Structure formats: structure tokens, C-alpha cells
Amino acid sequence: MSNLNKCNFCQNSAQQKCSGCQQIFYCSKEHQKLDWKCHKKNCQCFKITSNKEIGRFLSATRDIKPNEIILKEKPLIYGPAQETIPVCLGCNQEISTNNYRLCSKCQWPMCSEKCEANPSHLPECNFISKSKAKISPIPKHFYQCILVLRCLYQKQHNPSLWKKLNLLESHCKERQTTPGYYNEKVMATELIQKLFKMEFSLDEILKVCGIIMVNAHEVPLSEPPYVAIYEKTSMFENNCSSNCSKTFTEAGEILITSGVQIKKDDHLSICYADPLWNTTNRRMFLNETKFFWCTCKRCTDLTEFGSYFSAVSCQNKFDGGILLPTNDDENWICNKCNSTVPNLLVNSLLDKIGKEISDLDKNNVSKCKAFINKLKGILPSNNFHLVDVKLALSQLIGQTMGGLAQVSNEDLELKRSICEELIKLTETIIPSEKRVRGLLKFEHHASLAELARRSNKNNQQIKLILKESALNLQDCIELLKYEPKILPEGQICEQARKNMNDLSKFIIEK
Ligand SMILES: C[S@@+](CC[C@H](N)C(=O)[O-])C[C@H]1O[C@@H](n2cnc3c(N)ncnc32)[C@H](O)[C@@H]1O
């Protein structure tokens, strides 16, 4: 039988596939070892493909197990968000009003001399100091041009990076009709061209604005978060029930991991929007900022996999029905009695509840409980607004002085049941979103451990509750194991590891 596969090292016929990418072959282990230095940078479990609907996207080149690292990469470029409070252009942290200094060259406020010397600050510092523009204090809206300047700087100083940036999607045409476009045009002409006297064409500047809008990721490693553009990560398509999720290393690399079992040839996806927004808000956001109407399975299933996450309850008493949007875009219809309610009414109800939530003191257990009770019969239990408050409550109960030991039996049971309910919901609609589920698993473990402590059941039954608590801890550690220690999720993972040690000893002793 003829063998068409050639060894990646010696070109002789080969049979052993590289298990990392399943894309190339070797004639022997020895040649695989010798080739590794070269192949390492291309050994990945995905390839770039494209189609008409999505443009470029990634597909798996082999089966991928849940929680595998798919990609870790450094940013091409980073900087402050378009809308931000004043931040240091060296370390990205908020500028303290009584402890800052002006950069000796460009007069922009910085934390320290060390931050002034940070290479990330070089582009704008170079441009602005050359222009001799004297502005003090720096108006807040000036920050919107920093990342744009950092990108433009690469044209002359790092052409290969400039080329990589320019290969990314910018949706220049579609953006021309958006409200933000006018703003960016003013920024480009008044700030970049006139004040900072830069010789970039309007088209060039606006294309960079588009690239940032479509591809930048919010990085929560500073307060406030900064934004960064990553090359390969930009190729992940959106899915509101994605099969991958992202986190960051302390060094600012993005880390993409699988959340579920992925089959060879499946598309790899992350969620561009907040996966805990309702369908209307996710789709509007994606349309306004990424210029496509999402048609993922979650967006096209009005029940969102039977969860009714974006639905409202039918007000026909004793009906127990649920209202869902109809295809005519004018009415919502009850899944039991078929009565219809105009879109406008449902939307204004949801808006009103949304406003009440933004005014709600989410640090007050009684107020959160009262709010949830008030919405019973108005919203189904998995509705996104309710989920928002329940999530807050799942953390809040037991957070005050004395911890869970001081919580009433009723509140402890409430915490346990909310955690259980939300874990099930998130497993259904967003199985790859590990942060939220990791935190819920931790809280669930804590409530179970406290229930066991209070229990007057026999040793065997207590041991069963503790085992369930330990299983939650185990899941929490697995879900949060890639989170950096400087983020709360990383710290929870550390705590979970410690608790696991204690709990295992306790279970053995019992
Ligand atoms: C970060 S880029 C992804 C890479 C892009 N497809 C490309 O070729 O450069 C985001 C853009 O990809 C497209 N896209 C991503 N996910 C999509 C989806 N689920 N449906 C349609 N278009 C999508 C949209 O044009 C979106 O603005």
C-alpha cells in the first residue's frame, strides 16, 4: 500500500501523526523530537477557514476535550479603553488625583517615572511631544485617541505589526452609518490631524478605529480594565452559547480554553457579548458593534434551550404560561393560552425592571430577597433580570461579619437552592463560561459545608452532604484553574484548593 504522508523532518514516507495538531506526520519519534523547535509555533488544534457569512473563522483539526488550552498569545497592541476615567499610560491603572506626575515629554499624567519609561507609552509620547501641543489638564475624552495613536505609530516603526493589524476586520463601510462614527471623525480630524499634527489620512485613522471596535478585548487585569488586540484570537467567531472561553495570564496574554467536548471540524467560538444578557440585548450589541445579526443556536431558539432566560410570564392568572416573542416582531405570545401582548408593553416592562435593578442595593440581602419575591409571577424563575439579582444574592449571603455561621437557616437554604438553580441554568445555556459557574460551585460548596455543620443527622448522612460539597469544590478548582491570582476568580480557586485539603481530611476522619 502506498503511503502519501511525508515526514515533516526528512520528507520520507511517514505514518505517525502529530497528536497536537493532527496535521503533519513523522517517520519516527526521533524526527518528531528534532522537528519540535520548528513545528512548535504551528502546532495548534485549529486552522483558519472562511465562508461568506462569517468571513474567517477557526475550525478544530482534531477532537478537543473540555478544558484544554487552545491558544495562549501576547497582544499585538493594547491601551486604554475608548471611554475611560483618567488612567496612567504606563501601567493602565486609574490615576490617583493627589499622587501623579506629568510625563516630562508629553505632559500626560502618569503614576511614576517608571511608568513614563514604559515602552507602551512611547508611541503617543513621541507623536504628542513632537506636535508641541500644550494641553493641561488633559480632557477625559482625549484618552479615546491613545490606542489609535499606538496603532498608527506601527506603520513607520513596526511595519510587520502594522500589516497584521490591517489584516483584521474593520467594517469600515458598515460603520459609516453608526452614531459613534461621527464622534470618531471629529477625534480623527480635530485631535489626531489638527492638534497632534499627524500626517495620516482620515481613512487610515478611521480604519484603525474600526479594527479596534471589532477586535479589541477588555482585559480586566487593571482597574479600570484596558483593551487589547490579539492576532489569532481575533479569528474566533461569536456564539452566544460558545464552545470556548477566555481568560488572561498575569502577563496580559489571552488564554482560550475549550469549555465542552469539541469534535474535529467544529467551529471554535467565544461569546463577544455578555452571555448573561438577554437575547435582544446580545443581538443588538453584536449588530451595533460587530455588524452582524447573530443566528447562533441560542439566539434562534426563543426558549434558549428550554431555559426561558429572556422570557416573561403570561399575566392570565392561573395559566402558568410564558410569553415569547413572535416572528412578526410586533407581539409576544403565550405558550399556553396563545394570548398576545404587544412588543412595546413587554419591552417597557423589562426596561422598568432593569432600571429598578440598577437602583437596587445589591449589598443588602433583605432588599434583594424582597425584589425577587416581587417579581414572582411576572418573570419566569430563569429570567435574566432575576438571574442578575440571584447571582448577587448567591455571593452576598454569608459575606457579612461572622460569615455563613451567622446566617439564618432560611437564608442558608436559599443560598444553596439559588446556587443549585443557577449552576443548572448556566450548564444549559452557557456551558463554556467557566468563571460564573466556578464561583457558583464555590458558593454551593460553602452552603453545603455549613448545612452539614448544622445538621443533626447521623454521621453517614452528614458524610454524604460533605461529599457533595467536596464535589462542588473539585468542579470549582477545575473551572477556575487557569484564572490568574490577581483576579478574584484566581483567588477563589486558591481558597478552593485550601478548603479541599481541609474537607478531604474531615471526610476521612468522619
Ligand atoms: C473579530 S472578527 C472575527 C474574524 C472575522 N470573521 C474576519 O474575517 O476577520 C468579528 C467579525 O467576524 C464576523 N462574525 C463573527 N462571528 C460571526 C457570526 N456568528 N455570524 C456572522 N458573522 C460573524 C463579523 O463580521 C464580526 O464583525
> Would you say 46 and 269 are in contact if contact means Cβ atoms under 8 Å apart?
no
pLDDT band at 1 (very low <50, low <70, confident <90, very high): very low
Tell me, what DSSP letter sits at residue 413?
Answer: H
Average pLDDT over the chain, rounded to an integer: 94
pLDDT tens-digit map of 32-88: 999 999 988 888 999 999 999 999 999 999 999 999 999 999 999 999 999 999 999
- Asked if residues 52 and 114 have their Cβ atoms less than 8 Å apart, the reply is no
Higher pLDDT, 272 or 401: 272
Q: Give Cα separations from 133 to 106, 125, 138, 197, 198 (angstroms).
A: 8, 11, 11, 9, 12
Angstrom distance (rounded) from CA 329 to CA 325? 7
Inter-residue contact 251 to 486 (CB < 8 Å): no
Do 91 and 115 touch, CB atoms closer than 8 A?
yes
Q: How does residue 3 score in pLDDT terms, banded at 50, 70 and 90?
A: low
Pair 272, 292: CB distance under 8 Å: no
User: Among the atoms of ligand 1, which is closest to the Cα of residue 235?
Assistant: 4
Q: Of all atoms in ligand 1, which is nearest to the CA of residue 57?
A: 6
Distance 55 CA to ligand 1 centre (A): 6
pLDDT surpassing 90 at residue 507: no
Residue in 455, 487, 486 with CA at minimum distance from that of residue 468: 455
Domain ranges of the chain: 1-43, 77-229, 352-509
The predicted model gives 192-217 an average pLDDT of 95
Mutate to test the pocket of ligand 1, among 52, 54, 232 (most ligand atoms within 8 A of CB): 54
Distance of CA 61 from the midpoint of ligand 1 (Å): 20
Tell me the C-alpha distance between 127 and 153, whole Å: 8
Determine the distance separating the centroid of ligand 1 and the alpha carbon of 363, expressed in angstroms. 38
Tell me the average pLDDT across 425-452.
98
Closest residue by CA, ligand 1 atom 9:
169
- Which three-class secondary structure string do you get for 243-265? CEEEEECCCCCEEEEECCCECCC
User: Residues with beta carbon inside 6 Å of ligand 1?
Assistant: 53-57, 168-169, 171, 214-215, 234-235, 237-238, 290-292, 294, 296
Task: State whether residue 269 is helix, strand or coil.
Answer: strand
Across 241-250, average pLDDT:
98
**Looking at residue 41, what is its pLDDT?**
82
Q: What's the confidence (pLDDT) of residue 457? A: 82
Indicate whether 270 pLDDT > 90. Answer: yes
The answer to ipTM > 0.95 is yes
Provide the CA 30 distance to its chain's centre, in angstroms: 41
Mutational test site, ligand 1, from 218, 235, 237, 243, max ligand atoms within 8 Å of CB: 237
What separation in Å is there between the alpha carbon of 244 and the centre of ligand 1? 16
> How many whole angstroms separate alpha carbon 216 and alpha carbon 220?
13
- First-to-last C-alpha distance (Å) of the chain: 63
Quick one: average pLDDT of 356-368? Answer: 96
Angstrom distance (rounded) from CA 187 to CA 203: 13
State the distance from the centre of ligand 1 to the C-alpha of 448, rounded, in angstroms.
Answer: 43
Angle at 431 between CA 22 and CA 451, to 5 degrees: 130
Looking at residue 205, its pLDDT comes to 96
Average pLDDT over residues 260-265: 98
**pLDDT for 138 beyond 60:** yes
Pairing status of strand 77-79 against strand 101-102:
unpaired
- Hey, whose CA ends up nearest to atom 23 of ligand 1? 54
Gap from CA of 157 to ligand 1 centroid (Å): 29
For 87, 216, 415, 458, 470, the CA distances from 503, given in Å and listed in that order, are: 43, 42, 20, 18, 7
Nearest-CA residue for ligand 1 atom 20 is 54
Query: Measuring from atom 4 of ligand 1, which residue has the nearest CA?
Result: 235
Round to whole Å and give the CA distance between 478 and 67: 8
Residues 6+ apart with CB under 8 A from 446: 398, 404, 469
For ligand 1, atom 19, the nearest C-alpha belongs to: 238
Q: What is the pLDDT of residues 78-135, one digit of tens each?
A: 999 999 999 999 999 999 888 899 999 999 999 999 999 999 999 999 999 999 888 8
Atom 12 of ligand 1: nearest residue by CA position: 54
The residues, ordered by sequence, that sit 6+ positions from 507 with a Cβ below 8 Å of its Cβ are 463, 466, 467, 470
Alpha carbons 491 and 485: distance in angstroms, whole number: 5
**In the chain, pLDDT over 90 holds for what percent of residues?**
88
Query: Which residues have a Cβ under 8 Å from the Cβ of 42 and sit 6 or more positions away?
Result: 21
What confidence category does residue 21 fall into, taking pLDDT thresholds of 50, 70 and 90?
Answer: confident
Residue 243: phi and psi, rounded to 5, are: -105, 0
Whether pLDDT at 2 is above 50 = no
| Residue 215 amino acid letter | N
Question: Alpha-carbon distance 410 to 442, whole Å?
Answer: 19
Backbone angles phi, psi at 225, to 5 degrees: -60, 150
Cell representation of residue 120: 507602551
- Residue to mutate, 169, 256, 266, ligand 1, most ligand atoms under 8 Å from C-beta: 169
Residue 305 neighbours by CB distance under 10 Å: 15
